[in-house]
Amino acid sequence: MTPETITDPDLQEVAWDLSDLIDGASADDAQGAVDTLLAAAQTRADAFAAQYAGKVASLDGPGLIAAMKELGEIEETAGRAGTYAHLSFSVDTANPAYGALLQRVEEKGTAIETALLFFHLEWAALDDAVAESLLATEGLDFARHHLATARRYRPHLLTEAEEKILTEKALSGRSAWVRLFEEQTAAITVALEDGAEPVSLEIALSRLFETDRSVRQDTAERVTAALLPGLRTRAYTFNTLLADKMTDDRLRSFPNWLASRNLSNEASDESVQALIEAVRARYELPRRWYRLKAQLLGIDRLADYDRMAAVTQDNEKVAWPEAKRLVLDAYSSFSDELGSLVNRFFDENWIDGPVRPGKRGGAFCSYGVPSVHPYVMLNYTYLRRDVLTLAHELGHGVHASLGAQQGVFHMATPLTLAETASVFGETLVFGRLLDASPTAESRLSLLAESIEGSIATVFRQVAMNRYEHLVHTARRSEGELSVDRFGELWRESQEELLGDSVEVTKGYESWWSYVPHFIASPGYVYAYAYGQLLALAVYGRYEEEGPGFADAYLELLSAGGSKSPEELGAIVGVDLADPGFWDKGLDIVERKLDAAEQAAKDAGRI
């Protein structure tokens, strides 16, 4: 039985209700409700500009508090409309009405953003002493860290007129290209059998977990064939966005392609480079796993399409009700408060679960705005890894829910800490599954999934960061890149990771072309590795302290992004300034590998 043949009425009912974002309006009245929100936000933005433009330097402490409260309410109002449009589009990218609504929201949202641009430009221009005095104002907690970090952009800001032009032109520039890429990739279908109805790329990729190697190889070949028709268009889109970022970085005086992302992540270039080099220096860990996996599969050397294959016959499918029970039980056992929050996601329709035609691939949690709960999107294909994905995204969900008390400016953390709760929640569920495993064979199966999750989140993401480095650098030195050049650089980055442990096939060279992060969020991917290693360190603290750790953990999540990464880590006893920090997390991955090798021996597999 494969995921595309399962009929699960329970899962088909798992569709989110977005009406909370638009004051309870029905789907038929959604456009009117969205327009009402945007009109209200625009009116308040225009009034805000009339009141404060050119006057930020004259604000006193109470005046700054009043301005930030009004600015926050404007962002909340516009954010509800934007979240509704983006979430509607994500589950049905082929629906022209949703595409038109998204475009409408982006156009009107850009007008609101343009009207408010002056404020942060004027704030950044203040003398340091004046800014420090204002930041000390009592009652500014809801915006203090946000305002302090905004000033770090001071060397990279342009004039107000220039910023307005860039903001307005982005709508028909960068944003349009990103949307094109998303629509193209969402429309990719794969014919898994000759003459059969094609399935989504998400469903096809799930077959790479099958135990039959001929199925995996055939699937990989069919995925490669499905990627070919739009490959030149996706490559042109990538080229255009690479050039756009090159221009933006030059205008803003960023020293390298990753510097702007590091700034937004509140991380120094040096600390990020230390992370990347620490992970690259431990590439032998995934290679060691892949050599063991080849033994387990009875293969001399893995091919790229073998990397995710199940190593045992224990490749059970998990129906939606059981997945729900497992995840809810794990969160509730750790903390009643977290369990109650997770239960609301299920009971109050905050999740969209099944694979559907035109639905965006992958999974995510949308934080939205503090006044409305977060939403989780999945493409649940009944594999056990999907249970861990559910736990992962609900970790984001509880983080967003608890962080909402900090308000719109501090609800979310920098990307470098954004994976903390998700990986922690995933590890909780993994631990329960492992404890319940009755045999060495089942333990091996679970450990394999966990190790491969770490490889995907830490090592593969750093390899993808390396790919981004190669393409951004090549685009800036060589000019427009050909489809073949994109493939060559992809091969180079993957072969560095895999070494002699895995054969990178010719067809795999085009598989960069469906990864959305390269297009929509340049430089994003290393944050997965940062977050995974941080979360493992946090989980290690939980193992040391036991149930009493829950209070500190909830304090961390409830702080949202109101403090620096270092201050947030300190809440749970983690020192991000420790130069050995990354290796400590990598050591935990190595211990799992040791355990997998022992389980393989215990099961008589090696």
What are the CA-CA distances from residue 161 to residues 48, 115, 252 (Å)?
18, 11, 14
The C-alpha angle with vertex 494 and arms to 488 and 500, in degrees rounded to 5, equals 110
Instruction: Encode pLDDT of 392-414 as tens digits.
Output: 999 999 999 999 999 999 999 98
Q: Provide the pLDDT for residue 72.
A: 98
Tens of pLDDT, residue by residue over 72-108, are 999 999 999 999 999 999 999 999 999 999 999 999 9
pLDDT for the residue numbered 3: 47
Is 1 a residue whose pLDDT tops 50? no
More confident residue, 302 or 416: 302
Out of 214-228, 330-344, 565-579, least confident range: 565-579
Residue 415 is predicted with a pLDDT of: 83
The answer to whether the beta carbons of residues 524 and 517 sit under 8 Å apart is: yes
Predicted pLDDT at 313: 76
Per CATH, the number for 11-172 is: 1.20.140.70
CA dihedral sign, ordered 583, 445, 430, 5 = positive
- 445 vs 347, more confident: 347
3-state secondary structure labels for all residues of 318-380: CCHHHHHHHHHHHHHHHCHHHHHHHHHHHHCCCEEEECCCCCCCCCEEECCCCCCCCEEEEEE
Question: Cβ atoms within 10 A of the Cβ of 461, count?
Answer: 23
pLDDT confidence bin for 471, thresholds 50/70/90: very high
Q: In which residue ranges of the chain is CATH 1.20.140.70 found?
A: 11-172
Tell me what the pLDDT averaged over the chain comes to. 93
Q: Cα(210)–Cα(208) distance, rounded to whole angstroms?
A: 5
pLDDT at 416: 84
The model's pTM: 0.80
Query: pLDDT digit string (tens) for 241-256?
Result: 999 999 999 999 999 9
CATH fold of 320-441+526-588, please?
Neurolysin; domain 3 (1.10.1370)
Q: Average pLDDT in the 122-150 region? A: 97
Q: What is the pLDDT of residue 312?
A: 84
Cα–Cα dist 305/506, whole Å: 11
Pairing of strands 375-380, 351-354: parallel
Distance CA 319, CA 366 (A): 24
- Find all residues with CB under 8 Å of 534, minimum gap 6, and list them: 416, 417, 419, 420, 569, 574, 576, 585
Q: According to CATH, where is 1.10.1370.40 located in the chain?
A: 320-441+526-588
Task: State the average pLDDT over residues 494-519.
Answer: 96
Give the span between the Cα atoms of 219 and 192, in whole angstroms. Answer: 7
pLDDT > 50? residue 437: yes
- For the chain, how far is it from start to end, CA to CA, in angstroms? 28
* Structure tokens that stand for 295 in this block: 């033994």
Phi and psi, residue 64, nearest 5° = -65, -40
The 10s digit of each residue's pLDDT in 528-580 is: 898 888 888 888 889 889 999 999 999 999 999 999 988 999 999 888 877 77
Q: What percent of the chain has pLDDT over 90?
A: 80
Q: How far apart are CA 570 and CA 592, in angstroms?
A: 26
Instruction: Answer yes or no: is pLDDT of 2 > 70.
Output: no
The whole-number pLDDT of residue 384 equals 81
pLDDT in tens, 346-355: 999 999 999 9
| pLDDT tens column, 257-300 | 999 999 999 988 888 888 899 999 999 999 999 999 999 999 99
Contact predicate 74/144, CB 8 Å: no
Q: What is the pLDDT of residue 315?
A: 62
